[in-house]
Each structure stands twice: as C-alpha cells, then as structure tokens.
Structure 1
Amino acid sequence: MAAGLTGSRNRRGLAGALAALVVVEVVFAVAYGVSIGWGWQQLVDNFVVTNGLMGLTFGLCGAVIAWHRPANPIGWLFLADGIGHATTPFADALAHVVHGHVAQRVLVTISLAAWPWSIALFLPLALLLFPDGRLLSPRWRWAALGIIVTAPLFVLEMAGSGDPISPGVPRALLRIRHYDSLQPLWTATEARNIVAILIALVCLAIRYRRADEVGRRQLLWLLLASVIAVLFVTPWAFVAGTPILVLLAIPLIPISVAVAIVRYQLLDIRLVVSRALTWALLSLVAIGIYAALVALLDSLIASQVGRSAAVTVLVALIIAPVLPRLQQLVDRALYGDRNNPARVASRVGEQLSAGLPGVVTAIRTALRLPYVGLTANGEVIASGSPSSGAVVAVELSYGGDVVGVLEVGVRSGESGLSAADRSVLGLVAVPLAAAVHATRLSAELQASREKLVSAREEERRRLRRDLHDGLGPTLTGVAFSADAAANLISTDTPRAVELLARLRADTRAAISDVRRLVDDLRPPALDELGLVGALRQRADQMSYRADGSAIRVSIVADGLPTLPAALEVAAYRIATEALTNVVRHSDATSAVLTLRYTTKLEIEIADDGPPTAAWRPGVGLQAMQERAAELGGTFHAGPTSRGGLVQAHFPLSPRQDDVVAGAQAPLEVR
C-alpha cells in the first residue's frame, strides 16, 4: 500500500511539473511577442493566442484529471496535447532569441511539428477513451490503431512546407519537395482529421445509449463541447479565409472533459444542453429563412428601400413564435413530459393494469428521472436502477391515510424537485395511491382466504382424527360385541349378558363422542335456546369458581333479534371465552354481558376486577380477535380503571340486515 501511495504522489508530481512546463512556455511566448511590439493581430496571426490558449486549457485540465484520476490515461493525453500546443509558439519565439542558423532551423521545425500531434493523435484518442480510459470494446482497437498510424500525415502536412510561423527566422529543416503537388493528399489528411473526430463522436453516442444515468451526465458535457468545436473548426479546415479565432472553440473540449470526469455534478448539464440545442436550432432556422427570403425578395425589393433591413424584420417576425416550440421539443427530449401532466397521467393509467412495477417505470421514463421507487409498509414494492444522488419522498395518501411513499431521484445539479415535477407527481399520486391501496387490500384478502382455507382444512383434519381415533374404534367394538353376544346367547347366556352390558356402555360412549363433535361444530344450545338463552345458561354454569367463591354474571340483551348463524356462533364463542377468562383469571365479584343491536352488533363484557397491567395476548384473546376479523368486525380487550373490558363490534352487511329484518317482521296470518 505504501508503494501505491508513493506511486500516486509521484504521478501527481509529474502532472504538476508538466502543467508548469506548459505555463512557462506560453508565458515566454506571450512575453516575447509583447516585448518586440507585436499587437493583438500579430499575436493572433502568429498562433500565440490560439495555441497558447489551447495549450493552457489542455495542459491545466489534463493536470487536474491526472491529479485526481492518475490511472486514467485521458489526463496524460491532454497534458501531451497541451505541451504540443504550447511548444509551437514557445519554439517559434525562442528561434528569434537564439543565435545560430542551424539552431534556429531546428526550433522552427519543432514549432511546426509540435502542435499537429495534438489535433491528429492526442485529442481523438482521448475522446475514444472517454470517460474511464478504456475503449468501448475490443473492436474499437482498429479505430485507435488507425488514428495512431495516420497521425503523422497531418504532421507532414503542417511541417512539410518548411515555412516558419512568424517572419524573421529561417525555414525549417524538414521540407518536402514538390509540396504543392501533393495538395490532394493534404486535403485527404484534413478529411482524415474530421473523420477521426467523427469516429470519436460516434463512439461517444454509443456510450451514451449504453450508459447509466451518471455516465450520461458525463457524456453530455463532452458531446455538447465536441459538437460546438466541430461546427466551428470544420470551416477553418476547408474554407479559405475563415478567421483563425474559430479555433478558440477547441478549448471547450478539455474543460468539459475535466468537469465530466472530476465534477460532473457541477450543474444540470441537461439544462445547458436544452438551451444550447434550442439556440443552435433557432440559428439554423434563421439562417435558412434569411437565405430563402434574400433569394426570393432580391428581385422584388429595390436597393434604395433597404432590402436587408426588411428581410431582417421579416425573419425576426417569423422566428419569434418558433422559439417556444423549439424549446418545448428540446425540453421534452431531455426532461420528458413534465410540462404535459395529462400525457404522464395517461401513460401511468395505461400501466396500472400491468402492475405497480410498470407504473414506476412509466413515471421514470416519462419524466426522465434518474430513479423512482415505490414503498409501502416499509417494503419496496417496485423500483428502478439504484439512485446515486438525492432522493425526495412523495407521500401517497388514500382516505386520509398514508398508504405508501414514492421515492424520486433528483436530477444532477438540482437541489430538489421543480414545481413542474411536483405538479406532475401530485397528479399521478392520486391513482397510484388508489392502486397501492387496492393492491394491499387484494393481498390482505388473499391472505384471509388462505387463512380460512387453512382453518377449514385443520378443522376437517381434527374431525377426521376424532372420528377415526375415537368414534371409529368404539363403533367397531360395538359391532364385535353385538356379534359375540348373538353367538353366545343360546350357549352361554351369562357371558352374552355380560357382553350386552359392555355393548350398552360402549354405545353410550359413542353417543357422547358424537355429541362432543356436534357441539364443536355448533353449540346445540343455540338451536335449542337461542343466543340469549344459551348465554344465560352458560352464565349460570359460571356462577362459582373452582375454589367455591361466587361471582354474579348478568346478561343484558333486550330486543335482540335473530341473527345469522355465523354471527350467532361468533358472538357466543367470544362471549363465553370472555366470561371464562373473567372466572379464571380475575378477582371480580360480578360481570355484565351486554349485547346491543343498532346498525351493528355490539358485544361488551365488563367486570369489576381491580385494575391490572396490560393484558398479554394469549390463545383465548387471539381466538376472539380472529373470530371477529373473520366476519369483518373489530375487537378490543384490556384493563380499565373500573375493571376488565372486552368489546367486539360486527358490521351487518345488507344481506345480513335483510335476515335480521325478516326475523323481526311479524308473520302474516291468512
């Protein structure tokens, strides 16, 4: 590890030294030009301004990249690029200072051959390796190899004439005979440079399509700068008379690369691209309209009227309504449909039937968000790619309750969601909350169904076990005893009488088992006495505890109608279990069981036992709660200041109301 730290420090030191070399070269060239009286135009014509600025930007940006990412070759390529650009004005200025014809010719050769390597080799390779320093795939090695092999052609073109950059010094050592006759080769070389840059741009475009959100933010910086640089530099390479200052667009590339690699979250590059593309498209439209109108109106408008002014006014009037439309198109490409909430809501609605993961994907795609996730009850229901930035939580409310949270990743360069984003998310939150609520209800319903099926199967298993292990052997013994008694009644009467006595006992045992099974299915007292009568009978049986102490149990249930069978059983089981708990576990002297019927059935068991700590859930309390939940009711049990209290409420469905009303209605006698 110590060796790694030492190597990293050494590379950082080398990057700093090379950047200092670039600065020294540029400062020397500028200082010499100013000292001998060169004005601005001479500094521009002698490439001091353009090469000096490109040398500084490539060198310093390369040093920043190499300092923070020493393993990334892009920083070192940019340092080499900066040295190449800076060496050209430095060597040219130094040729004026030194004495000796040969030394001057060597320096002129260096000044001519230094900067072409930057354009032909270092810059295209850096673009091919952006942003991680590796080629897109092994197949792109041929592109890199082609750039390396053909790079010397541009050096020969720029240095082959031997003409010095500035007057007053001899020609270079490297001179190609019949240089002018090779003009087709030099034109092909210029085209080769453009092709090399275009190949790099194609590679960047492919990387953009395959990249994640972070990679796309990095690539947008470089794509924007590269497109601008190509648009400016291409006329300079092919159109004579193009101002040399168009080369000042090239420094945008190292600046954008340094920001993309080291500080890609500096600001929202999508906003920059949006505005830049808008004005670029607008400029192209303006130029096209201007050219068309000039050609059309040239023969119609007299020169004394002011043709150019009229055309300019017409162009301005035509372009004015175009700008908002262009801005909308570009914003939609980069920010999605956030300015069109109805479209987003429509896309979300289309995905609701496909499930919540499809809805999350639709929101993320529609708004071009880096991350969208959906959580409910602490569980992640659906989510996209992991977010590396800030996340804003949007609550999903249904019926006044928060049913879920929509987690939205914030775009790079933004401190939070914009008003347009919040407006769209607020619109889609309503149907999404309903979908989450419906999904939760569906899951609860499915769980309830599975629980009911499981309970039914357990009950069937218990009945089968009781019949097989209890009643079955008893009836088998009865049959065997009956056969034996029949066979012995004529030969061994006393033995037959003994078998008949045993047969009678076994029969009574079987009858007891049948009654027990029947009682477990539905208490017979409900059919014989009704709910209130069965509860009164049960209360009488609980008047005394096991230790002989008395407890007074009273029933209040005036005007209670006949209830559905399932509700009767649930009410009976809850009431008897609650009374049993009072008798077994409390020190109460009295208990009151109250049954009320209004719009729902209310069951309340209150005792006058002393206050206690909170009740711990046991089998009895859990059974009562489950019986209430099975019929859509609510259950509450616990101590109060006046004693223990158990409450259960059962809502009555319309069908149950009809049953109760029918039971209350008097019979019509005809």
Structure 2
Amino acid sequence: MTPGDSATSPAQARWPVVLAAGLFGIAVAEVAVAVIGSAVAGMTWIEAWDHFVVTNAAMGLSFPIGGVLVAWHRPRNPVGWLLLAAGIGHATTAAIVPLAEAGVRDGWPGGLIRTLVTVAAWAWPWSIGLCLPLILQLFPDGRPVFRRLMWATVVTSPLFALEMGTSPDPVVDGFPGYLIIHADLDPLWTAVEVRGLAAMTVGLVALVVRFQRGDERRRRQLLWLMQAVLLVLIVLVPWGVLQNAPVYVLLAIPLIPAAMTVAILRHQLLDIRLVLSRTVLYALLTAVVVASYVGLVALLDSVMRREAGLGSSAAVTVLIAVGFNPVRVRLQRIVDRIVYGDRADPVRAVSRVGARLDTGLPGVLEAVREALRLPFTALRTDDTEVAACGAPPELLHTIPLTYGGVRVGEVVIGLRAGEKRLGGPDRAVLELLAAPLSVAVHAVALSEQLQRSREALVVTREEERRRLRRDLHDGLGPVLTGVTFKADAAGNLLVTDPGRARALLTELRAETAQAIDDIRRLVYDLRPPALDDLGLAGAIRQRAAQLERPGLTVLVEAAGLPALPAAVEAAAYRIAVEALTNAVRHSSAGRVRIRIHADGHPAAAEPAAHHLHVEVADDGSGSGAWQPGVGMRSMRERAAELGGTCIAGPEPTGGRVTATLPLGAT
C-alpha cells in the first residue's frame, strides 16, 4: 500500500454497527418502559390508546428495527440513522407518559412531573418535522434530489417542535409542561403547518423525480415505498380529513419504515408491481364506489322520494352493481399499463417494437423490455448472445424464434422479481412479438451472410489477381524477355553470321509459340474461349469430341437454351467437362449422356426460366460409393458459389452428376 492509500481499520468499520445497536437498544428499552410503566401506572387499554402510548410505542419500535437493519448493512446511508432517530423520538414520548401518570398517582414532585411532560411533548415532533421529510427526500440512496430544499427542511424543522412543545394542551391532565406559550400565535402555527406540508410535498416530488430518472432497480425500490405510502394514506384519510377514525389507524405508519427497509436491502423479495397494481386498482374502485353511492343516494333521495315516494338505497345498490365491473375493467387497464406496460394491448406493443426495427437488434430488445416493463431481454443465435438489454435476474424464460419453419434464434426474458413463471398475458404478447423479431433476426443473418459473401468475393478476386500476376511474371515474362534478346542478337548477326542468325530465329519462333500457348492457357483459365466462339452447347461438344475414344459414345443434348449469364455459363461448362472427364477416366462406360436444359418449355413461350440443370450420366459399372476428390469438390464449389447444388454418385444403371444453377446469378 502506498502512503497515499487509505483503508478502513476494523475499529472504524465496527463503530457504526456498535452505534446502531446502541441506539436500537435505547429505543427497545424505552418501549419496554412504556409497556411496563403503563401496567404499573394502572392505565387501562383505552387510556393507553387515548394518550398515544400504544401508537408511539409501535412507531418507536418499528422505525428503529428498520433503522438498525439499514444502518448495519448500509452505514453510509443516512436513511437508516434517520429511522433510528425517528423511532427514539416516538419511544421517548411513549416511555415518559406512563411515568408521568405513575408520578401523578404516587404524588411525585410537581416539578419532576412537569419536566417529564415537557420532554414527552418535545420528543416526538422531531420525528414528524425533521426525520420523516428527510427520509422521503433522501430515500433510497441517501443523496438529495433538491439539496437546497433539504437544508431548508433542516433549518425550519424546529418550528414544528416549537408548536407542539409549547402547546397549552397537557400530555398529563393537570400538569402542563414548561415553555408553554399562551399568546395567540395562530398565524405562525398556520405557517408551520404549511411548512410541514411543503416539506412532505418536496419529499414526494423527489420520489417522483427519482422514479422518472431511475433504472429498473431504482424504480422497484421506489415502488415499495409508494405501496406503503398508498396504504397509509388509505387508512389515514379518515383520521386527517374526516376526523372520526379510531386512533389505531396510526398503526399503519410502521408500514413506511418496513417498506423502506425491504426496498434498500431486499427489493427483489417479490414482484411489488403486482401488489401495487391491485392496491391502486381497489383503492380507486373503493373511492369510485363510495363517491358514486353518496352522490346517487343524495340525488335519488331528493328525486325519487319526492316524486315517487320510493326508497333510494335499493336503486343505488342496483346501479352500482351494474356499473362496478366496467369501471373495474377500465381502471385495471389503466393501472396495468402504468405497472406492466402494454402487455394488455398486444397491438400497441407490436407497434412499438416495429417502430424500433430500424435501430438494430439492441433497439428492438429495448423496445420489448420497455413495452412489458421487463428487467432483462436478450437475443441468442446458435447459443451465442448477440444482443442484451438490462441486468439478468435469477429466473429466465426462453421464446423460440422461427422463420420459414426454421429456428433462427431465441429471445431470453428475465422474469420480474417475485414471479416464478411467465404469465399468460406476457406469453401471449411475446409470442405475437416473436414474428417481427424473427424477421429482424433473419434479416440480420442475411445481412451478415451478404457481408461475408462480399468479403469472400474480394478475397477470391485478389487471390486470382495475384495468381495471374505470378503466372505472368514467372512464366510469360521471362519468355518474352528472352524473345526480345534473341531478336536483337539475330539482328546483330544477320550480316556477319547468317547461319547463326537463322538458328536464333528458329529458336525465337519456338519460344514465341510457347508464349502464345501460355497466353492461351491464361485466357482459358479465365474463361474458356470456346464459350465465346461456339456457345455452351458447342463448347461441350468440342470437348466431348476430344475425349471420345473407340468404344465410347458421348451424346450432348443442349437445345433451346436461353441467354445465360456469363458466370452460369462458365460454371455449367466446367461442371459438365469435369463430370465427362471423370466418366472417361474412371469408369468403363460405353455411353455418356450430357443433358443441359432450363426450367420451362424449350420453345421459350413460357415465362423466363429460373434454373439451369446440368446432367451427366454414364452406363459404367463402377462399384461402391465415389471417393471425394479434387474434381468432385470443384464441381460442388462451383455450384455453391452461385447458390446452386451439385449431387454426384453411383446409380444402379451407372454414374450420375446433377447440378442445378440459379439463373439469377451474375
């Protein structure tokens, strides 16, 4: 380690754990004091509820449990420490109230009781005024979205504690705390309430911003908190708005620290999107049903009772029952689109994927992932991953891709957290998306094959050019150079030594003839001259006449051929001549039949032909399978270069070579 390096010592790494455990122990001890103190003070269950001992104890225990777990595993995340602080604030109030009640019963000094009451009144407001807004603004990674607003929340947090701590309403009857303010400060307290609402709003806005900017992991964490906040709001609305709900609805608040703890440490525990989807759906349904019922009751009560003298409750119930399911279906679609994307609308999903086809396979996979809100998508061909999007989870599902009945690859889908298998709606959408994905994969494969073909063509062309250069340089070049020198020598000796000049001219003629033969050989290697002079049928007949021997007859059938591309004509000639040569050399055939024809009627009255067929059959008595050699490999390669096929082998009546060449080749 260099002098500039730094490392965390075991003692430095241990102190956050020790501190978190100590704070958690304080909170647990205070909750224990609250429970035992309530029993000692003789408080009834109703009194404990009315003095908020039960609710403060519940929050004083639940917040530290989440806080100690987060601080233990993520000591640098301030959310854990804020949860511990919030829990200690509630636990302190929960512990002091029973002690003060016991002091009143046992006649403790009034100053001591008032001191306890003052501490109880000032302890819990910090949880609501400071800790909870900061938790919302810093969740889940501890980094603020709005740094200045966060510091504004910290600076103004004492105002809420001042409002609650100086309130003249005593925690214990008959013993008001110290620092009580009796002046009329309603405008100030109204501003404090507005400040508290603004701080909470900033926290919620920060969560929304994080959700929009975050990746799949961050959004899943935020959904846990959103689920908890939604449940808390559902049960706290009667408490805060209607003001007629029982006190125990406050027991929903511990859901928030529980959700935060799971989100930070185990956000993949289950698919929270499914839970949130159903919660939002039925919360909206409940609100719609309640609002509809209240509105219809009010309307029908004023109309039906006055006009028809009928009761309204039965009619309202019937109307709600009839309209409930359509509303449920519509709301389910809205919520599912937010949480699960377009899986309920396959046409929309296919349209989104189709619009991204021009961006390549990575863009298509990203469109699939976004359309179905999936954590991971990948594309594999031949067991090779060619593109991927997202982080792969533990459970994967594979969708095969086929084109023209041939498997061209597969799409690998990462299952959402909490899902054990792919759901029916997701499967239906993915199977529908498999068609455009198969087309895209096939198109990419064709593009890659075309590129490889172009590269092979360039390589072959350059190799052929290099061979020609070598033949010209090493073969024809020296011969022509020698011809030049001998012509000069013969000219110099023409007067002084005519005999020697005549001999040089004779050698010059022989070497010139050799050079001409070399030139013809090179030209023949490029393209047989007979093809240009005699055409395909005539060139094959010429070669057949050269190979005929006594006892062997070669029959060439090639009438009515259409105009052939140069490449097809040369390949057909090479294949036919090679097959004929093999039959002459390696079989005891007495008759060889060469038949060349194109698709369609020879009279050319039919549409243009698509393939040229070359058949070379002999009546030789060769036994066993043909051994592959240079000739057979050459015929197959010439056909494959044009996209055709060549089949060669023995038959009961002799040997046969059949080649099919597409006429679209150029």
TM bucket, shorter chain: 0.7 to 0.9
Structure 2 counterpart of 1:172: 177
Equivalent position to 2:149, from 123, 143, 150:
143
The one-letter amino acid of 2:102's match is V
Q: Which of 48, 52, 64 is 2:69 aligned to?
A: 64
The 3-state SS of whatever aligns with 2:387 is strand
Cα–Cα, structure 1 residues 591 and 266, in superposed 2: closer, same or farther, change >3 Å? farther
Structure 2 SS opposite 1:397: strand
8 Å Cα contact 2:543-2:577 kept in structure 1: no
Give CA-to-partner distance per residue, 1:225-284, whole Å, 9 cap, x none: 234435655775677666544433322211110111121112211111111221232233
Query: How many Å separate the matches in 2 of 1:637 and 1:129?
Result: 76
Aligned to 2:113: 104
Tell me the CA shift for residue 508 of structure 1: 1.7
- 1:576, CA displacement in angstroms? 8.3
Residue equivalent to 1:125: 134
Q: CA deviation at 1:496?
A: 3.0
Contact 1:485 1:496 in 2 (8 A): yes
1:185 alignment partner in structure 2:
188
The runs of 5 or more residues in structure 2 that have no matched partner are 1-5, 600-612
Letter in 2 for 1:650: A
Opposite residue 366 of structure 1, the aligned amino acid is A
Change (3 A) 1:210 1:2: closer
Query: Counterpart of 2:185 in 1: which secondary structure?
Result: helix
Give the one of 159, 165, 168 matched to 2:165: 159
C-alpha separation between the residues in 1 aligned to 2:19 and 2:57?
21
Q: Secondary structure at 1:415's aligned position in 2?
A: coil
Counterparts in 2 of 1:153 and 1:311: CA distance versus 1, 3 Å:
same
**Which one of the candidate residues 361, 365, 368 is aligned to 2:370?**
365
Within the candidate set 88, 110, 113, 2:122 is matched to: 113
CA spacing shift, 1:466–1:654, aligned 2, 3 Å: closer
Aligned residue number for residue 514 of structure 2: 509
The answer to which of 13-22 and 510-519 deviates more is 13-22
Structure 1 unaligned spans of 5+ = 541-553, 657-670
TM-score, with length taken from structure 2: 0.81
SS of corresponding position for 1:395: strand
> Cα 1:498–1:512, aligned 2, differ >3 Å: closer, same or farther?
same
Contact conserved, 2:544 with 2:554, CA < 8 A, in 1?
no
Which residue of structure 1 lines up, in the alignment, with residue 205 of structure 2?
202
How many Å apart are 1:627 and its aligned residue? Answer: 2.4
Aligned counterpart for 1:74 among listed residues 51, 72, 79:
79
Conserved 8 A contact 1:120-1:193: yes
- The 5-angstrom pairing of residues 314-353 of structure 1 reads 314-353=319-358
- The Cα of 1:218 is off from its aligned counterpart by 0.4
CA distance in 1 between counterparts of 2:338 and 2:437 reads 25
Distance 2:10 2:637 in 1: 66
1:632, 1:650 within 8 Å by CA — same for their partners in 2? no
1:444, distance to aligned residue in structure 2 (A)? 1.5
Q: 2:547·2:581 contact (CA, 8 Å) conserved in 1?
A: no
Partner of 1:650: 659
Instruction: Give CA-to-partner distance per residue, 1:88-134, whole Å, 9 cap, x none.
Output: 12111112334222221111111111110111111111222211222
Deviation at 1:647, TM superposition (A): 9.5
SS of 2:390 mapped into structure 1: coil
- Once the two structures are superposed, residues 600-630 of structure 1 have per-residue CA deviations (whole angstroms, 9 ceiling, x without a partner) of 5467999989999x99xx9888755532320
Q: Deviations over 1:443-480 (max 9, x none)?
A: 21332233224323432443345345543554455456
CA contact (8 A) 1:163 1:172 kept: no
SS at match of 1:321: helix
Distance 2:657 2:216 in 1: 54
Separation in 2, partners of 1:238, 1:183: 20
CA RMSD of aligned residues (A): 4.2
Q: Which of 370, 375, 397 lines up with 2:380 in the alignment? A: 375
Q: After the TM superposition, which residues 161-310 of structure 1 pair with which residues of structure 2 at under 5 Å, given as runs?
A: 161-167=167-173, 170-178=175-183, 181-230=184-233, 233=236, 236=239, 243-302=246-305, 305-308=310-313, 310=315
Residue identity over aligned pairs, in percent, reads 49
Q: Is the 8 A contact 2:639 2:661 kept in 1?
A: no
Does the 8 A contact of 2:548 with 2:554 survive in 1? no
2:609 maps to which residue?
none
Query: In 1, Cα distance between the equivalents of 2:21 and 2:36?
Result: 22
Of stretches 439-448 and 190-199 in structure 1, the one that deviates more from structure 2 is: 439-448
Residue number in structure 2 paired with 1:666: none
Q: What is the alpha-carbon distance in structure 2 between the residues aligned to residue 233 and residue 186 of structure 1?
A: 22
Q: Cα gap change, 1:579/1:597 in structure 2, threshold over 3 Å: closer, same or farther?
A: closer
- Residue 479 to residue 530, structure 1, CA distance change in 2 (3 Å): same
CA distance in 2, matches of 1:58, 1:257: 10
Report the CA distance between 1:153 and its aligned residue. 0.8
